[in-house]
Structure 1
Amino acid sequence: MARLFGTDGVRGLANKDITAELALDLSVAAAHVLAEVGEFNGHRPVAVVGRDPRASGEFLAAATMAGLASAGVDVRDAGVLPTPAIAYLVGEQRADLGAMLSASHNPMADNGIKFFARGGHKLADSLEDAIEQRLGEQWQRPTGPDVGRISPLADGADRYVAHLLSVLPHRLDGLRVVLDTAHGAASVVAPQAFAEAGAEVTVIGNEPDGININDGFGSTHLDRLQAAVVEIGADFGLAFDGDADRCLAVDGAGTIVDGDQIMAILALRMKEQGVLRGDTLVATVMSNLGMIQALGSAGIKVLQTAVGDRYVLESMKNGGYSLGGEQSGHVVMLDHGTTGDGTLTGLMLASRVAETGRTLTELAAVMRHFPQVLVNVKDVDKSRLDACTVVADAVRAAEAELGETGRVLLRKSGTEPVVRVMVEAEDVDQAHLIAGRLVDVVKAELAL
């Protein structure tokens, strides 16, 4: 049986995979498990619950809060807020746990639930496994005054925005910025934060109706943002995903500035200020070689992990590092938050533009992108990849051909019979040529 929890909580088609019954049962089990491992310290526990604007989030949040309250947990309903806002509020409210209903950048029909432990930290795999094992068990239900109470956390948005502004190193006065909030969870707080920081703000994708989240807007659909920035002559634009834990940018000419470029800009600033711990950035194996080389020349080490923000976060915590993230724009700044925060990332990027007086185009030019070719080789036996000497020999030959001007990465899909072949090179034609040769070898050697 497949593990219920994925790399970022439990996610699936709302009201089919992710049902009200499942949300309630997960919440009860989470309350029991966290109580038993000492998270509640013997006192009456408190939880913060939030959601993105999806229609299904209305009944799923209600079910989650009902499950927690039935288990004796007092619930503070934060309403529609970004995932990083809920993580922050768990810590700020000294709550014992948190729950967020969101499927992030997925289509509207999906939804999910993720839990946070005290301090706003994601749960360890072992705790998620324990929660899954406790689903549907018989338990002694509290009655009378021992049941949990549900109350609104009406000023949650203001508290979160105040936190963002408190860590901003430089005001944004004089900047013209376009924000695309993906009709998602940041539709109110992101414009509020940027306006209060002094920017002149134009907003698109900020009319959530429960149905339109991520639909043609946000970090996975940048064309409208690019057009808006150019049309109004803005300095740059920022796009978030549905739960606003990611941020991508567009410069004044409409050129995309991806997560690698954003991380490079932030890493250089943090090193300059002496707050980049270990002079290290944590990124995934998919980050561009151009970023690695640019930061290396500035004395910054790039520590690479498997793809997935949880692996980045784990490595950051283990090594005591302060900055990490992914090419997708999921950036973690552990000095200011416990998870990726798109609004915070955008504010820090904007602050650097304001602080230096340089354009985003100039700042992003610190690195050059090596062309990346990614091919998904389908219907292959991925389990034989690591042991296949023919594939290994082909990879070594490709790496020798590229030398220090490129790299090769083969990795297995976590959910499909697919091997992903990625080749990076100075020349896009060379990248395509080498990727094509490797794809042929993988198909021939690992065919089902």
Structure 2
Amino acid sequence: MGKYFGTDGFRGEANVNLTAMHAFKVGRFLGWYYGRFHKCSVVIGKDTRRSSYMFEDALSAGLTSTGADVYLLHVTTTPSVSYVVRTEDFDCGIMISASHNPYYDNGIKLINGNGEKMEQEVIDKVEEYLDGDFDDVPYATMDKIGRTIDYFAGRNRYMGYLMTLAKNSFRNVRVGLDCSNGSASAIAKSVFDALGAETYVINNEPNGTNINMEAGSTHIEVLQKYVKDNKLDIGFAYDGDADRCLCIDDKGNIVDGDLILYVCGVYMKQNGELDNNTVVTTIMSNIGLYKAFDAVGIDYAKTDVGDKYVYECMRNNNFRLGGEQSGHIIFSKYATTGDGILTSIKLMEVMLSTKKKMSELISPVVIYPQCLKNIRVESKPEARADVDVQAEVEKVAKLLGDDGRILVRESGTEPVIRVMVEAKTDHLAEKYVNQVIKVIEDKGHAV
């Protein structure tokens, strides 16, 4: 990770850590960089935060000032920007969103011409420019100055693409959607209505400050109650930019990313669509998922936390399905990024094609209780490398055996060590986490 850009873009509080001037300079650099040898064209999407409009204007000004043409999708999802970039002749794409963060944060996500997250070498150049001489990039003049174009057609084409991926009519299925007052508000209901569902929607009235507020995939309990109260067949909750999805089944149970990977993985295997018989997970996936995969003969790969790493593993090994517990699910045949609405459509396909309720489809998976605690430390590497800490971790691992696991990892964004234990009971999981944290504290690493 760089000074400004992390694993999911340049993110911070609007006009505090991430300012309009930052956006202007990012736009200027990209317009110049991609426009050195031909007329540059860039597509921009945004979520519903109040500051997204400011950043859209700033990015557009920077891009057009160096000669780039800017195509505005307006309020849309991150995966829709990725889709438009990779299926049309755009040099790159930009999504303005801070995903599941509160409304006062925002972010700039950069997407390359293949619809994938921007290459690190280009991001490094952007960061270098942000800290460099503002006059390095020339301004375009006269008829070389770029322009902005309303491009609702791109978003509509993406919606049409999603509809073509549905193999079944959704008629007579009672579906609940929690749009998190975010990007999905502009797309999800229209797609489900067009496919014939009886669609019930909540948190679908964004006002600029209510995105993710007691809504969406980070507050799944809201949709859980709504599905149960209205006796719906299934529910889907999205985050602010709709690149992730969590599900509520017909009994009101939460279907997280691990369970989604199981349901879709088994279905794809049965239909000969699971290339190399492998599902890509992260190191945070539950041991119960792996045991369930073992039972049906599905192999799995593990990556670091982050959908960026999941996709890289999928691309490099020609895997078709991967994702995270948080609901970033990637179907590489159809998309190059996590897509919450696409995930919903694929789950509906499994349910309708098998004629089984979602509660039946997830029933073979026994999720192990998980306890995760963070401890702030002076030095993350020193705390992890401490011989006594390592000894305690090994001791816990032996005690757990095949009935659990322990994971100790450094946070990528905070000065904390994360200690996670999965065990047969909540009591055991918390007990073993506390044992490791106590050693970290006793050795003087905590602050």
Q: Shorter-chain TM-score: which interval?
A: over 0.9
Structure-2 residue corresponding to 1:121:
116
Question: CA separation in 2, counterparts of 1:334 and 1:32?
Answer: 31
* Deviation of the 1:275 alpha carbon: 1.7
Of the candidates 73, 77, 82, which is equivalent to residue 78 of structure 1?
Answer: 73
- Structure 1 residues 282-291 or 425-434, which shifts more? 425-434
* Deviation of the 1:305 alpha carbon: 1.0
**Cα distance 1:124–1:446, how it changes in 2: closer, same or farther (>3 A)?**
farther
**Contact 1:247 1:345 (8 Å CA) reproduced:** yes
SS in 2 for 1:220: helix
Question: CA separation in 2, counterparts of 1:265 and 1:222?
Answer: 19
Matches within 5 A, 1:98-109: 98-109=93-104
Does residue 258 of structure 1 match 2:256? yes
Of the candidates 87, 97, 102, which is equivalent to residue 92 of structure 1?
Answer: 87
* Deviation of the 1:353 alpha carbon: 1.0
The alignment of Structure 1 onto Structure 2 pairs a total of residues equal to 443
Question: CA separation in 2, counterparts of 1:389 and 1:151?
Answer: 60
Of the candidates 426, 431, 434, which is equivalent to residue 433 of structure 1?
Answer: 431
**Contact 2:35 2:67 (8 Å CA) reproduced:** no
Q: Deviations over 1:171-195 (max 9, x none)?
A: 3222110000001001131111111
Q: Which runs of 5+ in 2 are unaligned?
A: none
* Deviation of the 1:93 alpha carbon: 2.3
* Deviation of the 1:446 alpha carbon: 4.8
**Contact 2:383 2:445 (8 Å CA) reproduced:** no
**Cα distance 1:43–1:2, how it changes in 2: closer, same or farther (>3 A)?**
closer
Question: CA separation in 2, counterparts of 1:122 and 1:2?
Answer: 15
SS in 2 for 1:122: coil
Does residue 291 of structure 1 match 2:279? no
Question: CA separation in 1, counterparts of 2:336 and 2:390?
Answer: 38
Structure-2 residue corresponding to 1:39:
none
Question: CA separation in 1, counterparts of 2:370 and 2:226?
Answer: 28
**Contact 1:181 1:241 (8 Å CA) reproduced:** yes
Structure 1 residue identity aligned to 2:13: L
Structure-2 residue corresponding to 1:243:
241
Percent of pairs with identical residues? 40
Question: CA separation in 2, counterparts of 1:227 and 1:207?
Answer: 19
Question: CA separation in 2, counterparts of 1:120 and 1:35?
Answer: 18
Matches within 5 A, 1:219-368: 219-368=217-366
Question: CA separation in 1, counterparts of 2:123 and 2:325?
Answer: 27
Q: Deviations over 1:133-156 (max 9, x none)?
A: 123242222211111121101223
Structure-2 residue corresponding to 1:7:
7
**Cα distance 1:356–1:446, how it changes in 2: closer, same or farther (>3 A)?**
farther
Q: Deviations over 1:112-144 (max 9, x none)?
A: 111111121111212101111123242222211
Structure 1 residue identity aligned to 2:411: S
* Deviation of the 1:237 alpha carbon: 0.7
Runs (4+) off by over 4 Å: none
| CA RMSD after TM alignment | 1.5
Structure-2 residue corresponding to 1:59:
54
Of the candidates 373, 387, 390, which is equivalent to residue 389 of structure 1?
Answer: 387
Structure-2 residue corresponding to 1:181:
179
Q: Which runs of 5+ in 1 are unaligned?
A: 37-41
Question: CA separation in 1, counterparts of 2:135 and 2:295?
Answer: 56
Question: CA separation in 2, counterparts of 1:443 and 1:214?
Answer: 35
SS in 1 for 2:421: strand
**Contact 2:375 2:418 (8 Å CA) reproduced:** yes
Question: CA separation in 2, counterparts of 1:434 and 1:302?
Answer: 26
Matches within 5 A, 1:190-209: 190-209=188-207
- Structure 1 residues 44-53 or 136-145, which shifts more? 136-145
Does residue 420 of structure 1 match 2:411? no
**Contact 1:240 1:247 (8 Å CA) reproduced:** yes
Question: CA separation in 1, counterparts of 2:407 and 2:135?
Answer: 44
- Structure 1 residues 13-22 or 234-243, which shifts more? 13-22
Structure 1 residue identity aligned to 2:401: G
* Deviation of the 1:167 alpha carbon: 2.0
Structure-2 residue corresponding to 1:370:
368
**Contact 1:382 1:446 (8 Å CA) reproduced:** no
Structure 1 residue identity aligned to 2:33: V
SS in 2 for 1:435: helix
The alignment's TM-score, normalised by the length of structure 1, stands at 0.96
Question: CA separation in 1, counterparts of 2:2 and 2:289?
Answer: 36
